[in-house]
Amino acid sequence: MSGVGEFEGLLRDALVVTALLTIPILSVATFVGAAVAILQAATQVAEQTLTLLPKVLAVGLTAALFGRFGMSLCEQLLREAVERIPQLVRG
């Protein structure tokens, strides 16, 4: 594979890792935000703290649960990038 192909493969891998790291956190934040919005609409409570605190807690818990998985993905990507340096430099 040429240097450009190696670089494109590395970029593709980086985008996949980015998606795998962000999708769980963003989906949890979206679902919790929607649930809080429905609850606020049903009870007519318009407290700003009530909207932020559940999302912060849910995102923090999700990051803590998926942290080891995310770090292993980042480690694999870094190892692949370092291994591909000679092919990238040669062009």
Looking at the domain assignment, is residue 60 inside a domain?
yes
Q: Is residue 45 part of a domain?
A: yes
Q: Which tops the pLDDT comparison, 71 or 7?
A: 71
Residues of the domain holding 40? 3-84
Q: CA 87, CA 37: separation in Å to the nearest integer?
A: 51
Residue 91 has pLDDT above 70, yes or no: no
The number of distinct structural domains making up the chain is 1
Confirm whether 27 is domain-assigned. yes
Between CA 58 and CA 26 the distance in angstroms is 10
Reported as a single tens digit per residue, the pLDDT across 16-64 is 999 999 999 999 999 999 999 898 888 888 777 778 899 999 999 999 9
Query: How far is the C-alpha of 58 from the C-alpha of 66, rounded, in Å?
Result: 12
Asked whether residue 91 is domain-assigned, the answer is no
* This model's pTM is above 0.85: no
- CB count in 10 Å sphere of residue 35: 13
